[in-house]
Amino acid sequence: MDAGHGWNAGAFQHHDRELGKHGRVVVQARLLFFVRPQRYTYEFMEKSEAFTLSFFAERYKPQLNFCGSRSGRETDKVDECGFTVRAAENGSVFFDEARLVLECRKLYFQDLDPANFVDDSLMKNYPQQDFHRMYIGEITRALIEA
């Protein structure tokens, strides 16, 4: 986007580093994202190969609390919060009010397996056995508020 929209665009690229006879390290921008299967977001994540993550300034805390307490299936949270939706280059959308937007490409997903919990106390977070799905995404573009 251009500066008229208050955004600067930046791209992440991978970097190779030689380690002599020990091999090569490739550093790429990746992130982990977790969603429970009953969330409306889960449906979008399953249908799309691309997604965005938006990070907001503190002044948007009331709107974010509202979004976290309502389902998008029953409420138009974007309209209720007064957010402005914009099209992302990766085919998904983002909110113009965000300070930072990460455009991502889905690389991998896997459901959490309780058999692999090292700390059994984690089970208290899953009384309904609704284990999160983990997604690994590649950050393909970052938008930073100007």
Domain ranges within the chain, ordered by starting residue: 3-115+126-145
Which pLDDT belongs to residue 20?
A: 53
Mean pLDDT, the chain, integer: 85
- What are the two backbone dihedrals, phi and then psi, of residue 14, each rounded to the nearest 5 degrees? -80, 155
CB neighbour list of residue 33: distance below 8 Å, 6 or more residues apart: 45, 51, 53, 104, 134, 135, 136, 137
pTM (2 d.p.): 0.76
pLDDT band at 105 (very low <50, low <70, confident <90, very high): very high
- For residue 33, is pLDDT > 70? yes
Q: In degrees, to the nearest 5, what angle opens at C-alpha 84 toward C-alphas 83 and 85?
A: 115
pLDDT in tens, 48-100: 999 999 999 999 999 999 988 888 888 898 899 999 999 999 999 999 999 99
Beta strands in 56-132 (DSSP E): 85-87, 93-95, 100-111
The partner residues of 15 in beta bridges, in order of sequence, read 27
Please give the pLDDT value at position 37: 96
Whether domain 3-115+126-145 has CATH 2.30.110.10: the reply is yes
